[in-house]
Amino acid sequence: MAYEPRRGDSLNKRLLAALGAAAVALSLAACSGEGAGSGTDTANQAPTDLTIGVSMPTQTSERWIADGNSVKEKLTAKGYKVDLQYAGDDIPTQSQQVDQMITQGADVLIIAAIDGTALSSQLQAAADKKIPVISYDRLIRDSKNVDFYVSFDNYKVGVAQATALLVGLGVLNKDGSEGTAKGPLNVELFAGSLDDNNAHFFFDGAMDTLKPFIDKGTLVVKSKQTSIEQAATLRWQQETAQKRMEDLLTSSYNDGAKVAGVLSPYDGLSRGIITALQNAGYKGKMPVVTGQDAEIASVKLINDGVQSSTVFKDTRLLAEQAVTAAEAFLKKATPEANDTKTYDNGVKVVPSYLLPVETVYKDDIQKSLIDSGYWTADEVKAGQAK
């Protein structure tokens, strides 16, 4: 790609440009990278000379739009250039976008992967150019070239979802004490996309919490589909979850038995599950359905008493951590980790910064989501972001 001088380009870049295209090509090969690339001394460069590549999985889910916007805003406010790309949940598109960020001279990469195992060659290319890679929310697996991980406590997300299911069913009280419901209560289980490392943490946390209640018969998984493979939802698609719920209702509940609750790991899936239940005649007091991400359409459903709960993960705080880590790398420092044991990506344990999560029931919407400025009261009422 032809070099076009831009305001803020380093003298180095301008001199390189003056050498002409052929010479640039030669020097690229020799010094491993166009643009600043982190092989160069980023610690002494102005933010305006540095570019951060931000690769997000999809715009079909609100949370990733919020993540992308927050990261971009925070970096731009500090003067950095940002190359933000969404991959439409398509693995080859994400690989190509990351490749392009590298060839165009990104100095740091922040990546939320679609498939956690599919970016090894891109990460090797980044490592060859000494570009630090921050895995954003979803751990990138099977590569030694993941330098840092920022996320939430994903196991605790699963524990929170299962606990919310138990509380919604009345098996437990909010304070953790035993509730009045003794069962047997029919529940069904949903998991996320198997290629997303988080899906396994969520399901493990949930199953560790639910298993004692399944073992003693308080909860009954009538379909007997209790493995993550059976419960999984490829690419976290709402329609796929709706279809599976419809199939479960037909195959396991045609004897008049009722579903009391559904473990759902993500609000989009929860909405698909709720639609399937409503189409099958459930109305009024709905089965207890959990969720994650505090998506506005689901917050409205919680407010209206249709969905039971969600797990709120404040993407603004995650974006902040990603920016802090990116700046540390640019200054050639080591970002501060608060977990150096949990996230083994198959090749190494990736130093991580994990944020806490919060369960939101109807009563918590005001304090957790409106007072914190995440959503406005009007948005909650409308079920739509402004």
Question: CA-to-CA distance for 140 and 146, rounded, in angstroms?
Answer: 7
Q: Which of 19-27, 95-103, 164-172, 190-198 is the region at the interface with ligand BGC (rule: CB under 6 A)? A: 190-198
Q: What is the full DSSP assignment across 308-337?
A: --EEE--HHHHHHHHHHHHHHHHTT-PPPP
Q: Which is nearer to ligand BGC, 3 or 148 (CB)?
A: 148
Q: How far is the CB of 151 from ligand BGC (least distance, A)?
A: 7
Query: Where does residue 354 rank: exposed (0-12), middle (13-18), buried (19+ CB within 10 A)?
Result: buried
Neighbour-count burial for 244-261, b at 16+ CB within 10 Å, e otherwise: bbbebbeebbeeeeebbb
Q: How far is the CB of 373 from ligand BGC (least distance, A)?
A: 19
Interface characters, 259-288, with ligand BGC (x: CB under 6 A): -------x----------------------
Query: Does position 107 bind ligand BGC by CB under 6 A?
Result: no
Q: Are 206 and 159 in contact (CB under 8 A)?
A: yes
Query: Does position 67 bind ligand BGC by CB under 6 A?
Result: no
Q: How far is the CB of 62 from ligand BGC (least distance, A)?
A: 9
Q: Which is nearer to ligand BGC, 65 or 328 (CB)?
A: 65
Residue 316 zone, left/alpha/beta (φ > 0; ψ -120 to 50; rest) = alpha
Number of residues that this document lists for the chain? 386
Query: Does position 236 bind ligand BGC by CB under 6 A?
Result: yes
Query: Where does residue 44 rank: exposed (0-12), middle (13-18), buried (19+ CB within 10 A)?
Result: exposed
Q: How far is the CB of 262 from ligand BGC (least distance, A)?
A: 16
Q: Which of 192-200, 238-246, 325-333, 354-362 is the region at the interface with ligand BGC (rule: CB under 6 A)? A: 192-200
Q: Which is nearer to ligand BGC, 47 or 116 (CB)?
A: 116
Q: Are 187 and 262 in contact (CB under 8 A)?
A: yes
Query: Does position 293 bind ligand BGC by CB under 6 A?
Result: yes
Q: Which is nearer to ligand BGC, 155 or 236 (CB)?
A: 236
Interface characters, 109-148, with ligand BGC (x: CB under 6 A): ----------------------------xx----------
Measuring CA to CA, how many Å separate 159 from each of 149, 163, 202, 257, 379? 21, 6, 7, 27, 28
Q: Which is nearer to ligand BGC, 61 or 145 (CB)?
A: 61
Size of the site for ligand BGC (CB under 6 A): 12
Q: Which of 96-104, 191-199, 253-261, 366-374 is the region at the interface with ligand BGC (rule: CB under 6 A)? A: 191-199
Measuring CA to CA, how many Å separate 148 from each of 1, 307, 334, 353? 30, 35, 9, 8
Query: Does position 292 bind ligand BGC by CB under 6 A?
Result: yes
The correct pick among 51, 94, 122, 198 for binding ligand BGC (CB under 6 A) is 198
Torsion (CA) 238, 307, 173, 181 in degrees, nearest 10: -90
Query: Does position 290 bind ligand BGC by CB under 6 A?
Result: no
Q: Are 190 and 201 in contact (CB under 8 A)?
A: no
Query: Where does residue 219 rank: exposed (0-12), middle (13-18), buried (19+ CB within 10 A)?
Result: buried
Question: CA-to-CA distance for 208 and 321, rounded, in angstroms?
Answer: 29
The correct pick among 3, 40, 42, 63 for binding ligand BGC (CB under 6 A) is 63
Q: Which is nearer to ligand BGC, 17 or 65 (CB)?
A: 65
Q: Are 346 and 145 in contact (CB under 8 A)?
A: no
Subset of 312-351 contacting ligand BGC (CB under 6 A): 313
Q: How far is the CB of 85 from ligand BGC (least distance, A)?
A: 17
Interface residue list for ligand BGC (CB under 6 A): 61, 63, 137-138, 192, 196, 198, 236, 266, 292-293, 313
